[in-house]
Amino acid sequence: MQRVMILGATGSIGLSTLDVIARHPDKYQVTVLAANRSVSAMAQLCRDHRPRHAVMFDCDAAAELEAALAGVVDTKIHAGEAPMVAFAQSEQVDTVMAAIVGFAGLSATLAAARAGKRLLLANKEALVSAGALFMDAVQAGRALLMPVDSEHNAMFQCLPADEFARPQMDRVEKILLTASGGPFRGRSRSELSGMTPEQACAHPNWDMGRKISVDSATLVNKGLELAEACWLFNRQPSDIEVVVHPQSIVHSLIRYVDGSVLAQLGQPDMRTPIAYSLSWPDRIEAGVNVLDLVEVGRLDFEAPNLDAFPCLRLAYEAIEMPGGMCVFSAANEMAVDAFLSERIKFTDIDQVIEATLKTVSLCEPSDLAAVQALDGVARATADGHIFDIAG
């Protein structure tokens, strides 16, 4: 029986994880649920799944949750980062799903890695902003690291791995990272200037939050995934090729030195990589519809247009800079927020990222405090560039 802690329980990944777990009560037990501040959603999850503990990063939210559940369930309520970290490394937990967005869950994710847990990684900051620190923690703790992003999970499924789930890369010639192309695939740079937040958030294949939907539209998300793949599989950016695949059926591919190309195909449903990550090296039913290739009909592939979508080019460059992806990610978050509030245009997002990369003094962070400090400087610098653009 795996005892599971979910960091980011109220988000889409957390809910999908709970759906998979509920299908296998003989294999998994939800021990700890954690989230930022979504009180009503967390209260309902505690009623439905009866975890032993629930943690809210926001202290006021924890107090509200405790009041909401008083006399209803026996779940113990905790507040702040410290209990998240304590539970992530405690003997009460075997598996940690790291799905809290941003820095809120990063300390707990690192703690789980150092404690040698089965770590299901869906938090981008762990690799994008703190890749070296995180991979060192995984190695030191001999954690079993399972990537949950559909693309990285697909890569993992196409690779041999040792008993600690470490991919064996010695016969790999190239990693092919697929991208849907987002809602603006095929548009020219001039056409993109007038795109609205509503248009950017209308993803053709995936049901996602507004921020990640914009990241898909700019191809920033693929740049972040590129950086993650470099750390997960110990590759250089030149070893990874981004390929636009609008159907989102082939989730990524591995090309070997003998010319063979292995691909993982499936419905665009996150329950597949979640179920695989929970059960590896076994497989379990995930509740996902069967993929009917005859119904799909065709699979198309094309090169990304870096002139229309320069954020991907900037990501390739930033990965080569010390601390570059930390700055890239922070600047992008500020720019996306400004775009969603209609302070800047869609085509201003890459301008903010590029200007921030050029004006922040870059360095490779040596610890988590340094990562957070660099992130803060990048955000403040990006905010200044946004102010200049917005007038």
Residue 27 scores a pLDDT above 90: yes
Q: Does a structural domain hold residue 19? A: yes
Please indicate, yes or no, whether residues 233 and 86 belong to a single structural domain of this protein.
Answer: no
Helix, coil or strand: residue 131: helix
Distance of CA 330 to CAs 83, 221, 233, 359, Å?
26, 13, 24, 14
Q: Does a structural domain hold residue 166? A: no
Q: What is the pLDDT of residues 193-241, one digit of tens each?
A: 999 999 999 877 666 678 889 999 999 999 999 999 999 999 999 999 9
368: domain CATH number?
1.10.1740.10
Which of 84, 105, 123 represents a domain boundary (last residue)? 123
**Mean pLDDT (whole number) for 134-151:** 96
Q: What is the pLDDT of residues 287-302, one digit of tens each?
A: 999 999 999 999 999 9
Which of 123, 155, 183 represents a domain boundary (last residue)? 123
23: domain CATH number?
3.40.50.720
Please indicate, yes or no, whether residues 183 and 313 belong to a single structural domain of this protein.
Answer: yes
Report percent pLDDT > 70 for the chain: 99
Residue 104: the pLDDT is 82
250 DSSP 8-state letter: E
Please indicate, yes or no, whether residues 65 and 207 belong to a single structural domain of this protein.
Answer: no
Please indicate, yes or no, whether residues 339 and 220 belong to a single structural domain of this protein.
Answer: yes
Q: Does a structural domain hold residue 138? A: no
Q: Structural domain of residue 82, as residue ranges?
A: 2-123
Q: What is the pLDDT of residues 47-97, one digit of tens each?
A: 999 999 999 999 999 999 999 999 999 999 999 999 999 999 999 999 999
Helix, coil or strand: residue 290: coil
Q: What is the pLDDT of residues 171-182, one digit of tens each?
A: 999 999 999 999
Q: Does a structural domain hold residue 135? A: no
Other CB atoms within 10 A of residue 289 CB: 8
Q: How many residues does the chain have?
A: 391
- Which residue in this structure is represented by tokens 């250089």? 236
Residues 6 or more apart in contact with residue 58 via CB below 8 angstroms: 36, 37, 79
Please indicate, yes or no, whether residues 109 and 210 belong to a single structural domain of this protein.
Answer: no
Range name among 199-213, 319-333, 345-359, 373-387 with the lowest pLDDT average = 199-213
Please indicate, yes or no, whether residues 81 and 230 belong to a single structural domain of this protein.
Answer: no
Integer Cα distance of 32 and 88 in angstroms: 9
Other CB atoms within 10 A of residue 246 CB: 18
Domain count, the chain: 2
Report percent pLDDT > 90 for the chain: 92
Please indicate, yes or no, whether residues 232 and 342 belong to a single structural domain of this protein.
Answer: yes
Q: What is the mean pLDDT of the chain?
A: 95
Which of 123, 146, 162 represents a domain boundary (last residue)? 123
Residues 6 or more apart in contact with residue 87 via CB below 8 angstroms: 5, 31, 32, 34, 53, 55, 93, 108
Q: How many helices (H) and strands (E) are present in the chain, helices listed first?
A: 18, 11
Helix-strand-coil split of the chain, %, nearest 5: 50, 15, 35
Q: Does a structural domain hold residue 251? A: yes
Please indicate, yes or no, whether residues 180 and 329 belong to a single structural domain of this protein.
Answer: yes
